[in-house]
Amino acid sequence: MSNANENFIMLPTVDICFKELMKNENVRRGFIAALMGVPPEKIRRTVLKDGTLPPEYGTDKLGLLDVKVILDNGVQIDIEMQVAFFAHWDARVLFYLSRMISGQLGKGEAYGELKKLPDEVENEDILIRWMRFLGGKNREELERMAKTDMYIEEAYQDLN
């Protein structure tokens, strides 16, 4: 086996790799906690859901989320891995968001039942570490970032 093959590691920004990492509940918990600016212990449970947003009518557009998560408190999270330029990204995100919001309420339910947005992230340090890990370009960079947090370490182990 060549040295190049031995050193190969799939980068976490590769769509399929990112989705696989998010299947690990601990990795998902650590990543979501970083995004929300809360300690991972505050995220008791996450449920990975099918990312398909079916059309309401036969002529509607289908939505395919990278990672859809439901928290214990009912909050829905869409996590998208996008590294290349995508024209109309803002419109795509709004489309996904509107589908997720409209799917929260059943017939006769009050709009006040919709889940609120989380407060702004106050501690960005762990979020920056996740960004550096996800943006790592080789095994050495990924390994270095893995040493900074137990959830990132678990994500790194899943890559191996």
pLDDT in tens, 63-83: 776 788 888 777 788 888 887
Question: For the whole model, what pTM was predicted?
Answer: 0.68
Q: How far apart are CA 155 and CA 160, in angstroms?
A: 9
Indicate whether 115 belongs to any domain. no
Indicate whether 140 belongs to any domain. yes
pLDDT above 60: residue 152: yes
Indicate whether 90 belongs to any domain. yes
105: left (phi over 0), alpha (psi -120 to 50) or beta: beta
Indicate whether 113 belongs to any domain. no
Indicate whether 112 belongs to any domain. no
Indicate whether 141 belongs to any domain. yes
Tally of domains within the chain: 1
Helical pair 125-134 and 150-159, crossing angle rounded to 10 deg: 10
Indicate whether 11 belongs to any domain. yes
Helical pair 150-159 and 139-146, crossing angle rounded to 10 deg: 150
Among candidates 142, 63, 137, 59, which has minimal Cα distance to 97? 63
The answer for residues whose C-beta is within 8 angstroms of residue 47's C-beta and 6 or more apart is 69, 70
Indicate whether 49 belongs to any domain. yes
Which domain, by its residues, includes 88? Answer: 3-106+120-159
pLDDT in tens, 80-136: 888 778 788 888 888 888 888 877 888 898 888 887 766 555 556 888 899 999 999
pLDDT above 80: residue 21: yes
Q: How far apart are CA 20 and CA 158, in angstroms?
A: 9
